[in-house]
Chain A
Amino acid sequence: MSHPTNARLALYAGGELGPWARFRVARHLPRCLQCRGEVDEFRRLREFLEGERGELPAGVDWSELAAKVTVNVRRGLAASQRAGEPAWERFGMPWRAPALALPVLLVVVAGWILQSLPPPLRPLPAPGAGLSPVVLDAGPAGIGLERDGRGFRLLHPRAEEVVFSVRGESVRSRYVDGETGQVTISHVYAE
């Protein structure tokens, strides 16, 4: 469990924290005996000082003094936070978030552009110029066609009683669809 700093507890005890910080400290206190004790201590000290106010030297503007103390406490708090931050944040580099977002945005845009460009990445040779042979096949994995690492296949996942055959330069499968009971005949052709 991480504890609020003493400065933050002191500001909380004096009712001088912002709404979000106040909410977070208030959420922490019921679960932490130690911090509750610190806050009680700050409150007692504050009450003591309030009580002693009348006995201190006259001519002191207590409101002005309290404001100065508050400003100093805030400055100290900010300085302590900066000490734990990376150098670029301490020197005030507000472009960190855009710097992170920009490469991601570039990836998205590049993907979008590349997808809209015409294929192929690996150009197919012109007909008659070393064209790879078309291979058709028929088997338990369906009937299909493949050429140069590309291809397609007609599957029959719910098929029963599959019959394969070759007809000229095409392959054929025939089966009954297990769900509909309908016979389907599929062909793959080599053009």
Chain B
Amino acid sequence: MSMRSNLALALAVALAGWAQAPRPANSVKVDFPGDSPVTVVSADWGESRTEARGGALVLDLRTSLSLRNASPRRIRGVTLLVRAQEVTPGGKASLSAPSLDVKPGETFPIRIDLRLLRPLLAGAGPLAEVTLDGVLFDDLSFYGPNRLNSRRAMTVWELEARRDRRYLKSILEARGEEGLRQQMLETLARLADRPQLDVQVSRGRATTMGAQERNVEFAFLHMPDAPIQPLSGLARVAGGEARSPRIQVINRSDRAVRYFEIGWVIRDRGGREYLAGSVPASEGGLRLAPGARSEVAEEAALRFSRQPGQPVAIDGMTAFVSQVEFADGSYWIPSRAALADPRLRDLVAPSVEEQRLADLYRKRGLAALVGELKKF
């Protein structure tokens, strides 16, 4: 075959490959509402790549969205909704950037690192769609469709941030910079030493449970000022897998409650405890009057492991109230005093804001941390 024919063939093969490989910018559609207080300034897809694996195509979409605060208020948090219906029907995800302080007109980045696995040949449309789910402002007002209940989540993060900034400022006033330094070192140590588990959640799966399955009752950590009090609870457990947790609670406050979450701690046979997550009350429809009782339940099966293939043998479980939303729209979160309980302190991760400030201290030093606290 002549050189001319070789060149033509190579060109055609390259063209065919080009036709099959989706371009990152075309694979994700970024679509914000027209009246959004946050606008997209630019999207950088520089490190995105595509790779064929057997009959599947793996798309690593790495983008950094540059967003601008187009509103007259300061932004405290943003949540983006990521849908991948084309790839996984029913699949959705979210990315939240809490603990922000974005002035009107300022820009800020949000990085999206998304890996999509799909058949080699698929449709030509976007594989994922990124939309805005909500924006929280400094006066706790909110904008957005709130499909993921991001308003509640971002409000709780902001309330925790205010609680922890107040706490750190009080340390600075009472014990000076050295006291603040000690607090940050403790926070960094907690983050580093906090026991961590890998977890798998199966929904509707026929589990490995069988004859070994047993009921394990929850123990409860008492939170003195919590408006909700857990009464009893149990889950089905076999080895490293737990399913169908059910917890009965009573509203001890004088206000109606419309949402709450129960923190869930598991203990292995060596007596080591891990914060597994939380069991939320059902979204919508709940109105727990003062003195009334209710039950939270999950049907999913959770499998915990230290590393892949090393399941944690669950020996016991503990629960505590982690957040409450009242019917009037106000919230309860644990106080710093309640979180100082030795068991909780070791289990519960520092708040989002405390983690951010500890990272700031680690990278830029005490002066930068003090300056940051004085901004609020």
Q: A147-B88, A174-B349 are in contact. Are A112 and B9 (CB under 8 A)?
A: no
If A97-B5, A120-B119, A154-B115 are given as contacts, then 4 extra A-B residue pairs at C-beta distance below 8 Å, sorted by A number, are A114-B121, A155-B115, A188-B92, A189-B93
Cross-interface CB contact of A164 among B89, B197, B352, cutoff 8 Å:
B197
- Please tell me if the beta carbons of A108 and B16 are within 8 angstroms of each other in the complex: yes
Q: Is A69 an interface residue (CB 8 A)?
A: no
- Please tell me if the beta carbons of B128 and A115 are within 8 angstroms of each other in the complex: no
- Please tell me if the beta carbons of A145 and B88 are within 8 angstroms of each other in the complex: yes
Q: Is A187 an interface residue (CB 8 A)?
A: yes
A66 to B195: give the CA distance in the assembly, Å.
99
Cross-interface CB contact of B359 among A97, A116, A155, A161, cutoff 8 Å:
A161
- Please tell me if the beta carbons of B87 and A153 are within 8 angstroms of each other in the complex: no
Q: Interface stretch among B136-144, B277-285, B326-334? A: B277-285
Q: Interface stretch among A4-12, A39-47, A52-60, A165-173? A: A165-173
- Please tell me if the beta carbons of A135 and B118 are within 8 angstroms of each other in the complex: no
Q: A104-B12, A174-B352 are in contact. Are A186 and B96 (CB under 8 A)?
A: yes
**Closest CB in chain A relative to B367 CB, distance in Å:** 16
Report the 10 A-B pairs with minimum CB-CB distance, sorted nearest first. Answer: A166-B277, A104-B12, A139-B198, A133-B205, A191-B90, A155-B113, A119-B122, A165-B277, A136-B201, A153-B115
A142 to B19: give the CA distance in the assembly, Å.
30
Q: Is B111 an interface residue (CB 8 A)?
A: yes
Residues of chain A within 8 A of B157, CB atoms compared: 185
Q: Is A83 an interface residue (CB 8 A)?
A: no
- Please tell me if the beta carbons of B13 and A163 are within 8 angstroms of each other in the complex: no
Interface string of B1-41 (1 = CB under 8 A from A): 10001001100110110011000000000000000000000
Q: Interface stretch among A20-28, A30-38, A74-82, A176-184? A: A176-184
Residues of chain A within 8 A of B300, CB atoms compared: 168-169, 190
Cross-interface CB contact of B19 among A104, A115, A156, A190, cutoff 8 Å:
A115
| Residue with the greatest number of chain A CB neighbours at <10 A, chosen from B89, B98, B148 | B89
- Please tell me if the beta carbons of A174 and B355 are within 8 angstroms of each other in the complex: yes
Q: Is B276 an interface residue (CB 8 A)?
A: yes
Cross-interface CB contact of B355 among A136, A156, A161, A187, cutoff 8 Å:
A161
Determine the residue in chain A with the shortest Cβ distance to B283.
A168
Residues of chain A within 8 A of B90, CB atoms compared: 134, 147, 190-191
Q: Is A94 an interface residue (CB 8 A)?
A: no
Q: A154-B114, A164-B196, A186-B93 are in contact. Are A176 and B280 (CB under 8 A)?
A: no
Q: A150-B87, A187-B148 are in contact. Are A134 and B204 (CB under 8 A)?
A: yes
Q: A119-B86, A160-B359, A176-B359 are in contact. Are A183 and B56 (CB under 8 A)?
A: no
Residues of chain A within 8 A of B99, CB atoms compared: 182-183
Q: A122-B119, A135-B205, A185-B352 are in contact. Are A150 and B19 (CB under 8 A)?
A: no
Q: A119-B86, A161-B191, A168-B280 are in contact. Are A189 and B92 (CB under 8 A)?
A: yes
Main secondary structure of the interface of A (DSSP, over half): strand
- Please tell me if the beta carbons of A152 and B91 are within 8 angstroms of each other in the complex: yes
Residues of chain B within 8 A of A65, CB atoms compared: none
- Please tell me if the beta carbons of B93 and A188 are within 8 angstroms of each other in the complex: yes
| Interface residues in chain A, defined as those with a beta carbon under 8 Å from any beta carbon in chain B | 97, 100-101, 104-105, 107-108, 111-112, 114-122, 124, 131, 133-140, 142-147, 149-158, 160-172, 174, 176-177, 180-191
Residues of chain A within 8 A of B108, CB atoms compared: 182
Interface string of B183-216 (1 = CB under 8 A from A): 0000000011010111111111110000000000
Cross-interface CB contact of A167 among B196, B202, B277, cutoff 8 Å:
B277
Q: Is B97 an interface residue (CB 8 A)?
A: yes
Q: A154-B114, A183-B99, A186-B94 are in contact. Are A167 and B123 (CB under 8 A)?
A: no
Residues of chain A within 8 A of B60, CB atoms compared: 155
Residues of chain A within 8 A of B9, CB atoms compared: 100, 104
Cross-interface CB contact of A152 among B94, B115, B123, B278, cutoff 8 Å:
B115
Kindly state the interface size class of chain B when it binds its partner: 35 or more
**Closest CB in chain B relative to A102 CB, distance in Å:** 11
- Please tell me if the beta carbons of B122 and A169 are within 8 angstroms of each other in the complex: no
Determine the residue in chain B with the shortest Cβ distance to A134.
B203
Residues of chain A within 8 A of B114, CB atoms compared: 152-155
Q: Is B363 an interface residue (CB 8 A)?
A: yes
**Closest CB in chain A relative to B280 CB, distance in Å:** 5
- Please tell me if the beta carbons of A119 and B279 are within 8 angstroms of each other in the complex: no
**Closest CB in chain A relative to B258 CB, distance in Å:** 16
Q: A135-B200, A176-B355, A186-B94 are in contact. Are A120 and B115 (CB under 8 A)?
A: no
- 14 A-B pairs within 8 Å (CB atoms) are namely A121-B121, A146-B88, A150-B87, A151-B87, A152-B116, A153-B114, A160-B359, A161-B355, A166-B277, A183-B98, A183-B353, A185-B98, A189-B91, A189-B92
